[in-house]
Structure 1
Amino acid sequence: MALFDTHRPGFNLLLVLVVVSIVLMSLDRIGTRWVDELDGDLGSVTDGVIKAIHQPVALTRSVSRWFADRDDLHDELDRLREENILLRGQMQQFASLTQEVDALRELLDGRPVDVPPVLLARRIGRPPNSEGNLFTIDRGLDDDVQPGDPVIDAHGLVGQVLRSTGSGATVVQLTSRDHVVSVLLGETGRSSLMRGTGGRELVIERVSERTRIGTGDLLYTSGIEGAFPRGYPVGRVTKVDMDEAQGFVRLHAEPVADLERLDHMLVITEPPDSPDDSATQGDEPAAETPPVEDAPDIEDAPDVD
């Protein structure tokens, strides 16, 4: 029987797909400019497919919200108004403390710490992944979202942008086996590397047994690796395994971010290790902290009848 016999269409198609796959992998290994452009175009196509698949879910949520109880909507609006008042009050104190810290840093010949800009994003779906630690958002290169940008939610660190296209981006969660972040070990001032396990848990290996840290302690980003800003909550210690023979302990932690019900999040669009313009412009004054009254007020939202 001939190799390309018409009675074997399945085998012929498989052979063509294998050849095309080998060619694409070879081009990806070479990494030329037009291959990167092709990868971006294909990524845009896959993002569009993911959005189309997620549309029925979004439509179902919209219909559910449409038929929601009117009293619940009133209660939710009242709660959001109260939360907005509390946050605005805390923001006033935060602005004052920021000015005081910047003044102290200037006296110590240090650089003021600027709050990095953030961009609100929404999860639109999940690409195929064995661990389920990847998801896509509706922000991309058109919104200045670059690979490597940190992603946070209202509680703490979520992960990092893995790939960005024109209209969307893929985010890898900090629980992935491929994700590593440097964290501060509680109030000890020491730092160590935390990695994901592919599940819900985070681990830190080979921590000195003299480190005073225990269950319940909060772990923050250290900012040493230059990928994440310093001071964002990452996880909370749940278990400490002692290895007296080696003189080290193994820390187990769980993320503080609500990864199970993640819908909206914030992308830190400016890399923390980017050069500071004020450092290259001599004695130009640093940017002032934006006034509190510029913050959005939820009381401007229309009332629900």
Structure 2
Amino acid sequence: MTNNKMLVEERSRDIGNFLVGRLLPFRRKRQVGPFTFIDHMGPSVIGPGNYIDVDQHPHIGLSTLTYLLEGEMEHKDSTGAEQLITPGSVNFMTSGYGVAHTERTPPHQRDGGSYPIHGYQVWVALPKEKEEIAPSFVHIPKADLPQWEDKGMKLTLVAGEGFGRKSPLPVYSPLFMLDIKTGKSNHLDIKGQLKGEIAIVVVKGEVISDGQKVGQGQMLIAKTEDECCLDLAADTHLLLFGGQPLEEERFLYWNFVSSSKDRIEQAKADWRAKEFPAVPGDDTYIALPE
């Protein structure tokens, strides 16, 4: 493998009663473009005793992007947003100066049955001049995202710009997120189609990049100018994340991202003092990890 590329393995992390595979950040690479955090949920099955119940917790300085491949989740946040998250739609909560939210298995799936859950939760750091904007929430249905076929591949532009298209999702810096599926073995040329750093995440199947194999549960990080083409094995599913890196270093503590260590200390104090905005009608509270 050339020195300008990194291969990353998912690392298991416990988020309450649910295990996820963490791809970003890791020791040698904290961000890819403005993407600061990528968690892979599942594929798993939820049911009695194993529901997703992520209680109320805070964020600053970032946008959270939830993208499900299977299953459903219920999102509620302190802007008053309530949204059933369904496969293929994109859900984008911008924290700005401060937001709190919950993520749960929806009530209609708490009926004693078993249901699949599979998807990705992603954090996108805000540019320095946008870190303190007002919180907001945007939901874009699957049908409204740019979708096209190329040589038997099915491509969806989830966020940002690429391949001459633009997602309707409002983002704050130059970035891209693509969902790519192929039936037969195929070849994807990204030269000139995507700009900045790129993370190639293999959901299923296998990709070969300059002789380097990338398999299920792995992520390859490169620069788009060094990554001109990918060979996809049959029945492969990829996600591509990336974009232009932010100019300043970002500090990460728990659910807080900021270009300022002092701002993170203030957010910690505010959460301890319960001075963040709250999710309407929800009195749950995840304490700051010490």
Normalization by structure 1: what TM-score? 0.23
Normalization by structure 2: what TM-score? 0.24
Q: Judging by fraction of residues, say which structure has more helix.
A: 1
Larger radius of gyration: 1
By relative contact order (CA 8 Å, sep 6+), the higher-ranking structure is 2
